[in-house]
A = this chain, B = another copy of it.
Amino acid sequence: MNRIESPFTPETITAALREEGLRITRTRRGIVQALFDSGRPMTLQEIQTAASAHEGAQPDYATVFRMILLLEKLHLVHRVNLQRSCSYYEISDPRKHYDHLVCRGCGQVVLIDIPCPIGDAEKKIAQQYGFRNLSHSLEFFGVCGACP
């Protein structure tokens, strides 16, 4: 291997957009920056609020919605299932793996950074059920040390 691993930054996103012939706007930079800053799954509302911190005016909710849709399509953002009433989104480095641990008490979300326990189970399942291109969504729920 030994290839150079370029870091995954806001610039990675803007570069990807440019490659698609899309435009880089003040609003889009704000949204992307908000996602990187937080480092945890966010609702569209949270993204909207946080984006304004960077680029002045708060973007419209519909704009955030469409931007996230776009980033999802490009696999630069993915949805996280937190079993809540609305969707959460998070930056998605295609080379990384994202599993979460959620506290049922305070709601805090921790990104788990141990090696994913699914790895080859995925291969077995693909074989056994005749599926291909497998991916998965894995979330743990529990009660954190600070909660009763």
Partner-B contacts on A (CB < 8 A): 79, 81, 83, 101, 103-104, 110, 112, 114, 117-118, 121-122, 124-126, 128-145
Contact = CB atoms under 8 A, between A and B. Distances in A.
Contacts of A125: 101, 112, 114, 140
Contacts of A117: 117-118, 121
A22 B79 CA distance: 38
Contacts of A126: 142
A5 to B, nearest CB: 25
Contact of A114 (B79, B81, B128): B128
Contacts of A128: 114
Contacts of A104: 133
